[in-house]
């Protein structure tokens, strides 16, 4: 193992071409870091709309060998870049590089660094992990022939029902077609509108009610680079969009991110239809892994071929702010994880959230306060 000799701190927009190439090289040299959320392009995007975004660059003999993107507030509390949005977090480094976590935090001006989707390889952060969780993934292979043939060969248990629903959708609403890389920005707005409505129906926080997230997704939709490309995919019935997905891909990894559909077509299982179509098309496009993200969902159990492990926790150095932050955040995290891990608790919680969502959308007074 090689220990780093110097750490420099940069705003994302200050990273020159040489540093971005070094970051890409670190991604390419380890499959642990092939996820597009670990690419500098994602950090650059967040940095456009989040003033506290920073990158710690680890140097060895004058060469940049590691990169930690993070966000910092005025009190020295740090969090993984895009925490709450990013499904993969890490200090991206070349093989064999190690670091001292307290020295790193001191260089970053942080008392604590919070993460919730840290890749398992990050050993220097190991003592600060409070829990590890399954992140389902789908190994993709280039398909031959047409989509129905790929579906029957890959998911024989799902094929019959899914293809039957697609044929019924075609009869009821028009020919079903799938566009893997849709460049019409109006379809991105449609996806955001559907997703906002879904968040409200289910009582979840509406991410697209936050202007900076809307702006970030708009920006990432325009990024077309080797290590990060924003891909919008749409299922149409005739000329009408039925389901849509937006997510980033690197050279080899596709990250499932925002999926939504027109609820008027719910009978046809358009969300599952979208993920199956997306997996087949991504495989043809050279992707070898689809990362579906941490969280228990029935469709993930149907589609996954295996699971990765991601960690959450609070890396810290002795400081009153770090202690206060852990005391505030850790019980909230623990309660949420307990609910999510137990179906007997998760299902009533989901029903409660949906009831609250229904009340919000049906009550003008509540809706006004929510805005």
* Contact criterion met (CB below 8 Å) for 70 and 111: no
CATH level 3 topology of 141-287 = Aminopeptidase (3.40.630)
State the DSSP H helix or E strand holding residue 343, giving kind and residue range, or none if neither. helix 343-362
Query: Is residue 306 within 8 Å of residue 312, measured between CB atoms?
Result: no
* pTM reported for the whole predicted model: 0.87
Q: Which two tokens stand for residue 192?
A: 């955001």
Which strand (E) or helix (H) includes residue 259? strand 258-261
Domain 6-134+310-356 matching CATH 3.40.630: the answer reads: yes
CB distance 26 to 57 below 8 Å: no
Q: Is 258 helix (H, G, I), strand (E, B) or coil?
A: strand
Separation between Cα atoms, residue 42 and residue 39, nearest integer Å: 6
Same topology, domains 6-134+310-356 and 141-287? Answer is yes
Q: Are 15 and 44 in contact (CB under 8 A)?
A: yes
Q: What is the predicted pLDDT for the residue at 349?
A: 41
Q: Rounded distance, CA 94 to CA 77, Å?
A: 27
Q: Which pLDDT belongs to residue 334?
A: 47
d(CA 232, CA 195): 14
DSSP state of 29: T
Q: How deeply is 298 buried, as exposed, middle or buried, from its count of CB atoms within 10 A (0-12, 13-18, 19+)?
A: exposed
216 burial (CB, 10 Å; 0-12 / 13-18 / 19+) is: buried
Contact indicator for 99, 273 with CB cutoff of 8 Å? no
Q: For the chain, which residues make up each domain, given as ranges?
A: 6-134+310-356, 141-287
DSSP 3-state of 190 = helix
Which pLDDT score, from 0 to 100, does residue 310 have? 96
Mark 80-92 as b/e (b = at least 16 C-beta within 10 Å). bbbbebbbbbbbb
Looking up tokens 């110097």 gives 6
32/119 Cα distance (integer angstroms): 7
Tokens of 46: 């967040």
- Per-residue model confidence as pLDDT tens for the chain (371 residues): 666 679 999 999 999 999 999 999 999 999 999 999 999 999 999 999 999 999 999 999 999 999 999 999 988 999 999 999 999 999 999 999 999 999 999 999 999 999 999 998 899 999 999 999 999 999 998 877 899 999 999 999 999 999 999 999 999 999 999 999 999 999 999 999 999 999 999 999 999 999 999 999 999 999 999 999 999 999 999 999 999 999 999 999 999 999 999 999 999 999 999 999 999 999 999 999 999 999 889 999 999 999 999 999 999 987 655 555 556 555 545 444 444 544 554 455 444 444 433 433 333 332 322 22
Cα distances (angstroms) measured from residue 320 to each of 46, 76, 316: 28, 11, 10
State how beta strands 77-80 and 63-72 pair.
antiparallel
Whether residue 256 contacts residue 293, with contact meaning beta carbons closer than 8 Å, is answered with yes
């Amino acid at each position: 193992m090689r220990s780093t000799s110097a750490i420099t701190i940069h705003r994302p927009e200050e990273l020159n071409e040489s540093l971005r190439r070094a970051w890409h090289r670190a991604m390419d040299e380890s499959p642990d870091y092939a996820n597009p959320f670990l690419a500098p392009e994602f950090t650059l995007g967040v940095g456009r709309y989040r003033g506290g975004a920073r990158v710690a660059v680890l140097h060895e003999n004058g060469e940049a060998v590691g990169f930690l993107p993070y966000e910092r507030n005025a009190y020295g509390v740090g969090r993984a870049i895009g925490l709450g949005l990013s499904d993969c977090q890490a200090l991206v480094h070349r093989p064999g590089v190690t670091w001292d976590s307290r020295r790193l935090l001191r260089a970053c001006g942080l008392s604590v660094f919070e993460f919730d989707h840290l890749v398992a390889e990050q050993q220097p952060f190991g003592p600060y992990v409070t829990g590890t969780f399954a992140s389902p993934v789908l190994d993709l292979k280039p398909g031959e022939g047409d989509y129905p043939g790929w579906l029957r060969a890959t998911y024989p248990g799902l094929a019959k029902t899914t293809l039957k629903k697609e044929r019924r959708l075609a009869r009821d609403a028009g020919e079903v077609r799938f566009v893997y890389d849709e460049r019409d920005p109006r379809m991105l707005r449609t996806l955001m509108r559907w997703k906002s409505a879904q968040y409200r129906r289910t009582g979840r926080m509406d991410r697209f009610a936050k202007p900076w997230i809307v702006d970030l997704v708009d920006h990432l939709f325009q990024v077309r680079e080797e290590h990060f490309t924003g891909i919008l995919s749409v299922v149409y019935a005739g000329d009408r969009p039925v389901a849509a997905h937006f997510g980033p891909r690197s050279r080899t990894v596709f990250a499932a991110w925002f999926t939504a559909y027109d609820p008027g077509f719910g009978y046809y299982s358009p969300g599952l239809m979208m993920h199956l179509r997306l997996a087949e098309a991504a495989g043809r496009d050279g992707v070898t892994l689809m990362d579906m993200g941490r969280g228990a969902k029935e469709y993930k159990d149907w589609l996954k071929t295996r699971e990765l492990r991601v960690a959450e926790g609070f890396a810290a150095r002795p400081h009153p702010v770090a202690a206060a932050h852990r005391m505030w955040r850790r019980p909230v995290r623990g309660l949420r994880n307990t609910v999510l891990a137990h179906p007997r608790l998760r299902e009533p919680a989901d029903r409660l959230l949906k009831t609250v969502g229904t009340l919000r959308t049906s009550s003008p007074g509540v809706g006004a306060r929510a805005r």
